[in-house]
Structure 1
Amino acid sequence: MRFRASSLLAIFASILILASCGRGGRDVSSTTGWAYNNPDYGGFEYRSGYEQETGPGLVFIEGGTFIMGQVDEDVMREWNNVPRRVTVPSFYMDETEVRNVDYREYLYWTQRVFTDYPEVYRRALPDTLVWRRPLAYNEPLVENYFRHPAYSQYPVVGVNWLQANDYCAWRTDRVNEKILVDRGILELDVNQQNENNFNTESYLLGQFDGIEGRRPMRDLDPNRDTRRVRSDDGILLPRYRLPTEAEWEYAALGLVGNSYQERLTHRRIYPWDGHIVRNPDRRDRGQMMANFVRGRGDYMGMAGSLNDGGDITVPVRSYWPNDYGLYNMAGNVNEWVADVYRPLSHQDTEEFSPFRGNIFQTKVLDEEGMVVDKDEFGRIRYREESDEDILDRHNYRTSDNRNFADGDPISNIAPGEGWTESEHNSSTMYDGTPGTALSIGISDRSRVYKGGGWRDRAYWLSPGTRRFLDEREARDDLGFRCAMTRVGAPESSRRR
């Protein structure tokens, strides 16, 4: 077939018109008819087909509806997690608990960068005195557990809720900084000092410049050459954070493994099938599924046949992952979640994405809309965080121990005079007798933790059980893992 010259010219003109729609795509606004991503049309930028990248260490958790709450017998008679149906949006969660080596990396960065603010480093230190017991020889753990390489792959403990949140914020900034460095937008700068360090919020608000890289973002605005990355570019990841209680419980149950289409074939008491804590598979039959206390005084079984292989904690990739690929969602260490504890939260929270926090906070801005209040990390401070709160965080002891000499001299500061048993006792949320009233008051500082730990009986391994602790306190069987919000569609396009 032959084409006339006029037809060829028309086709060629159409190609030129499409090409003129700009660098980065041929999209045209259905509202104005102006081309996106084209400096000739003003340079409004629009990115279609966005798919969120999975951040380092995270696993995608596809959301859905489930029965949140305790489905086995409530032997504590607290009735603080009555079953109810809720929906949890898709999100991401750490494959494992945060390790000692992860937290030491955080401390190293903090000490290296905040040379003029040594209190930042001291405030971040885990409390290794949580290992001390009045009538037990735990000095080797006080001195070695956190820093010795033999325990690098073990979960960090002795970290309170506030410290865990600081770690999440630090991780967010380091991950996003590396994204910009890898893309050539920023030059790697290992000499950042004190408050002049990369912070995601400050960068997005135009309050951190850094060193421009070899491939800076080109600004399609015809009046500018380059620009910083913006939120609408989709390059920077959402922040790492503690999971909500609903997210944690949903991820622990891993219901993708015992459902068919929209039918749940059977409920789960634990993060695995069945009502027992031993592996039913032929190859591994009889092996413990988690690290917990089998009975009074039995933390690991008899020599030659250790039942769970762990006298205290175990490496974070021990045992079998649940159906979401998450390790140790039962046992090993309990884990902090974001929620404030209330015994009747199940009556008050929303059916979609339930969460109980404290207050809504806003950034402190000047007349030009610039943030005027930052902490020593260079992070945005919020109006509700007072100077008294910050001072209180510095001075509060995180462990339950009083009047003991320090073990690890790097990680501990001996408490002051005047501590008495009546002033501070938080070894348990109960007064010692199961089923009796709580021995400590519930406040806005009371934070939920879940999952059971190496000191707990099998009852606490059920994701539906819940306990609480003051956000300023720490334990030797309490750690954490991070989560991240998923933006966009609940189902990953890579799985469609």
Structure 2
Amino acid sequence: MTLRLIAGVIASIGITSCSNTNSTGVSTATGWKINDKKGGFQYNTNYGDQKAPLGMVAVEGGTFTMGRVQDDVMYDWNNNPTQQYVQSFYMDEAETTNLMYNEYLYWLKSVFPVSEANYRHIYESALPDTMVWRSRLGFSETLTSTYLRHPAYANYPVVGVTWLQANDYAKWRTDRVNEIALENAGYLKKNAKVMEAYGDAHFSTDAYLANPDLVYGGNRDVVFQGVKNKAKDGSRHVYATQEFGLFTAEFRLPTEAEWEYAAVGLVGNREYNSYKGRKKYPWEGGQTKSTGRKNKGDQLANFKQARADYGGIAGWSTDGADITNQVKSYAPNDFGLYDMAGNVAEWVADVYRPVIDTDDNNDFNYFRGNVYYKNQIGPDGKTVIVTSETMQFDTLANGKLRARNLPGQVAQVMVDESDTFLRQNFNSGDNREYKDGGYNAPEHTLVTDEDGSVYGKYDSAKRTTLVDNKSRVYKGGSWKDRAYWLDPATRRFYSEDQATDYIGFRLAMTKVGAKPGTKRTKK
């Protein structure tokens, strides 16, 4: 089969490039020609640097002191300072909004209609919990029906979303970004993502990379083999592969170390190769009000300023919000990130433990929570794609169902002993308890009576902690918090399958390739 030059693909989607490999197109290993139209090895030898994804800003990695270096007035004792190094990454410049999340809900409802019994729980499991706005002694019923959907709140941060839901959204976003990239490059039929995606037949990045013949239900009219570039003999070219440079790295929740590093923004507090002190907030100074001449006295974030004071005196010192506020309503920090203090607190990827392990082996891209999976391989030796018949659901603590994988995605299984045998860097698929055993948090359960009714039963055993492997870290102060929590070093936890009216999220992406080059200036 004849193959096309990868450079043509890259040009078709507007990626500028500067060669970081042999620009002659000849292998320095064998002397063979790469990207020969007659066939052979195909590779994007003109790939330049990764560009910041839409809506994200680049955060250049570096070393910093993670944790509190000032008095711990709350006596949390869970954020003792430790030196860490964070690799370069990208982060959403603002929190995920209701508008963005509603696009996700619309896609789910369109592809997996609730009118079909097999799909009903998919959409329902993604819905934010709008009842988080209710209070026993407060009136907020209007928010339960308007905050998520009404255009007045379109650019406000989404809340009522669990850690699990945020991760599902991240996976969906990865697939949609890769889908439009392949469509623009001519590998997917134009507008099939809107007109023909239904049930099992839709695009999944992992499924395409594993077996593109099964994407869109194996519909060859949608999944092209480079149809835009037929060879002279009429044959078509191969599917896109990772070597083409078309696929984005995955969107994901930031790690706790990444979030804190990005929030404190010490890059603006540097002189040569040293930081000039420690910042208490994402902005300069130790106050929550601006000292600039143009907007002196303005609040730099929305938060609970005092008892019964969520925004200030009307018409005077108000911060412009009573609950959350539109994203980007306040000035960004030195990385160009908005609302890293105030508005909503944010989920991060880590499993919570009271102590950050300071072992020397864990001072690079620190993260607790690794659970390693691999693609499931069927008896025929091929990757298993989930269907509506084979889809499996997990029952959460609150009784709601959550699909492990959507129809059309690759079935996943945890790595086993065959993958870890004689490995030195890890020896288990689940590393959440590495060097810090499990915690005996209460185990509330769902009970089914003989008549089929289901109710929740509280754990009657005496427990010494609320922490377990489902406890996830969230960072930053929210509209509902006092100023203490605006410090990026503070940390709290919440169950991964529960939601609140003050926790939202934003996504991150690892930067692949070289660390961003910056001019070494004094400041």
TM-score in same-fold range (> 0.5) = yes
- Cα-Cα RMSD: 2.8
> Quick one: structure 1 residues 217 and 87, their matched pair in 2 at CA, closer, same or farther if it must change by over 3 Å?
farther
**Cα displacement string for residues 101-134 of structure 1 (whole angstroms, at most 9, x for unaligned residues):** 1111100110001023021110000000000111
Of the two structures, which has the highest relative contact order with CA contacts closer than 8 Å and spacing of 6 or more? 1
TM-score by length of 2: 0.77
- In the alignment, the residues of structure 2 paired with residue 472 and residue 147 of structure 1 have an alpha-carbon distance, to the nearest angstrom, of 22
Deviation at 1:57, TM superposition (A): 1.2
> Quick one: structure 1 residues 377 and 53, their matched pair in 2 at CA, closer, same or farther if it must change by over 3 Å?
farther
> Quick one: structure 1 residues 224 and 486, their matched pair in 2 at CA, closer, same or farther if it must change by over 3 Å?
farther
SS at match of 1:339: strand
Q: What is the letter of the counterpart of residue 371 of structure 2?
A: I
Q: Do structure 1's residue 167 and structure 2's residue 192 form an aligned pair?
A: no
- In the alignment, the residues of structure 2 paired with residue 492 and residue 379 of structure 1 have an alpha-carbon distance, to the nearest angstrom, of 37
2:205 corresponds, among 200, 225, 243, to 200
Larger of the two Rg values belongs to structure:
1
Q: Do structure 1's residue 447 and structure 2's residue 472 form an aligned pair?
A: yes
SS at match of 2:375: coil
Deviation at 1:492, TM superposition (A): 5.2
- In the alignment, the residues of structure 1 paired with residue 281 and residue 258 of structure 2 have an alpha-carbon distance, to the nearest angstrom, of 16
Gapped regions of structure 1 (runs ≥ 5)? 1-21, 386-415, 425-437
- In the alignment, the residues of structure 2 paired with residue 124 and residue 133 of structure 1 have an alpha-carbon distance, to the nearest angstrom, of 23
Q: Do structure 1's residue 380 and structure 2's residue 410 form an aligned pair?
A: yes
- In the alignment, the residues of structure 1 paired with residue 337 and residue 138 of structure 2 have an alpha-carbon distance, to the nearest angstrom, of 33
SS at match of 1:345: coil
- Aligned partners of 1:36 and 1:46 also within 8 Å: no
Deviation at 1:223, TM superposition (A): 12
Q: Do structure 1's residue 340 and structure 2's residue 346 form an aligned pair?
A: no
1:69 corresponds, among 59, 62, 67, to 67
- Aligned partners of 1:23 and 1:38 also within 8 Å: no
Q: What is the letter of the counterpart of residue 383 of structure 1?
A: V
> Quick one: structure 1 residues 350 and 369, their matched pair in 2 at CA, closer, same or farther if it must change by over 3 Å?
farther
Q: What is the letter of the counterpart of residue 379 of structure 1?
A: Q
- In the alignment, the residues of structure 1 paired with residue 383 and residue 223 of structure 2 have an alpha-carbon distance, to the nearest angstrom, of 22
**Equivalent residue, structure 2, for 1:111:** 109
Q: What is the letter of the counterpart of residue 353 of structure 1?
A: N
**Cα displacement string for residues 141-175 of structure 1 (whole angstroms, at most 9, x for unaligned residues):** 11111111111110000000000000001111111
SS at match of 2:373: coil
1:236 corresponds, among 247, 254, 272, to 247
- In the alignment, the residues of structure 2 paired with residue 236 and residue 419 of structure 1 have an alpha-carbon distance, to the nearest angstrom, of 44
SS at match of 1:54: coil
- In the alignment, the residues of structure 1 paired with residue 67 and residue 411 of structure 2 have an alpha-carbon distance, to the nearest angstrom, of 35
Q: What is the letter of the counterpart of residue 177 of structure 2?
A: V
- Aligned partners of 1:219 and 1:227 also within 8 Å: no
Deviation at 1:286, TM superposition (A): 1.1
Gapped regions of structure 2 (runs ≥ 5)? 8-22, 387-404, 416-452
SS at match of 1:59: strand
**Cα displacement string for residues 303-359 of structure 1 (whole angstroms, at most 9, x for unaligned residues):** 211431110000011110011111000011000000000111233571111100143
Which moved further from structure 2: 365-374 or 245-254? 365-374
> Quick one: structure 1 residues 370 and 223, their matched pair in 2 at CA, closer, same or farther if it must change by over 3 Å?
farther
**Cα displacement string for residues 336-383 of structure 1 (whole angstroms, at most 9, x for unaligned residues):** 000000111233571111100143222221355532253324222322
Deviation at 1:46, TM superposition (A): 4.3
**Equivalent residue, structure 2, for 1:37:** 35
1:227 corresponds, among 232, 238, 256, to 238
Count of residues in Structure 1 that have an aligned counterpart in Structure 2? 431
- Aligned partners of 2:44 and 2:245 also within 8 Å: no
Which moved further from structure 2: 193-202 or 23-32? 23-32
- Quick one: percent identity of the two aligned structures? 45
SS at match of 2:374: coil
TM-score by length of 1: 0.81
1:181 corresponds, among 176, 180, 183, to 183
> Quick one: structure 1 residues 369 and 276, their matched pair in 2 at CA, closer, same or farther if it must change by over 3 Å?
farther
> Quick one: structure 1 residues 170 and 315, their matched pair in 2 at CA, closer, same or farther if it must change by over 3 Å?
same
SS at match of 1:338: strand
Deviation at 1:291, TM superposition (A): 0.9
**Cα displacement string for residues 75-96 of structure 1 (whole angstroms, at most 9, x for unaligned residues):** 2322211111111010110011
